[in-house]
Amino acid sequence: MKKRRPEIVLFTGFLGSGKTTMLLKTIEMLADKEKKCAIIINEIGDVGIDNRQMRKLGYDVLDLFGGCVCCTLKVTLEATINHLLNEYDNLDYILFEPSGMADPSALYPAITNCGYRENEIHNVFIFDPLRVDLYQVHLNQLFRDSLNLSKIVVINKIDEAPPEMVLQAREMAENIKPGVKCLMMNLNEELIPEFSRMLISGRW
Ligand SMILES: Nc1nc2c(ncn2[C@@H]2O[C@H](COP(=O)(O)OP(=O)(O)OP(=O)(O)O)[C@@H](O)[C@H]2O)c(=O)[nH]1
Ligand SMILES: [Mg+2]
């Protein structure tokens, strides 16, 4: 009997916001819970993903990394997701980090073409509070569009950003999307339990 489809989680956010850091923390947490993950990554930034790092995360994840599961998007996203769905019947999660320059809405058709409904796409928007000015001015439209598609906002770098900037980031998100769930995190530490619970339970 075929298992249900893997959950699909997108880590969106602008260049350098913390997508890869969050993704690595997430794999680590999921590997601890013996979940099987595939990663699709668009671009390797300054925090690279390599097999050595993966080896630390335990055999199950490493096993998947032996193949082509950690792909750059040489082929289209749609083909990559279909490949994962066809080749692996034991995947629990597909984690995807698009490029920080990508408009997330452009990615949705590829995912829905693979049989996911739009509301099944768990889009986590990573909002670096040190960049509020940039988002307010130059990237405002992209910010609005990204935020509107996201299921939750992670305001990270709370160890570096002064509290007033964190608050400003939160207010900015809430102004655009009233009621949006904002989780504050220092991604150099553990993910906060609330996020882990959402991911594991599938209730976002
Ligand atoms: N202090 C601190 N640094 C963070 C946090 N989150 C991410 N960083 C740092 O921010 C920098 C960029 O993080 P990445 O995870 O590479 O960001 P990205 O969004 O993947 O970047 P691109 O893929 O290049 O767009 C790295 O030096 C991270 O260590 C955080 O919560 N606190
Ligand atoms: Mg990255």
Ligand 1 closest atom vs CA 187: 31
**Residue ID of nearest Cα to ligand 1 atom 30:** 157
pLDDT of residue 2: 56
Q: What is the distance in A from the centroid of ligand 2 to the CA of 3? A: 30
pLDDT of residue 51: 59
User: pTM to 2 decimals?
Assistant: 0.90
The residue that leads in pLDDT, 91 or 128, is 128
- pLDDT of 143 > 50? The answer is yes
Q: What distance lies between CA 8 and its chain's CA centroid? A: 9
pLDDT of residue 59: 46
Q: What is the distance in A from the centroid of ligand 1 to the CA of 199? A: 21
Query: Which domains, ranges and CATH numbers included, belong to the chain?
Result: 7-201 (3.40.50.300)
Q: What is the distance in A from the centroid of ligand 2 to the CA of 43? A: 6
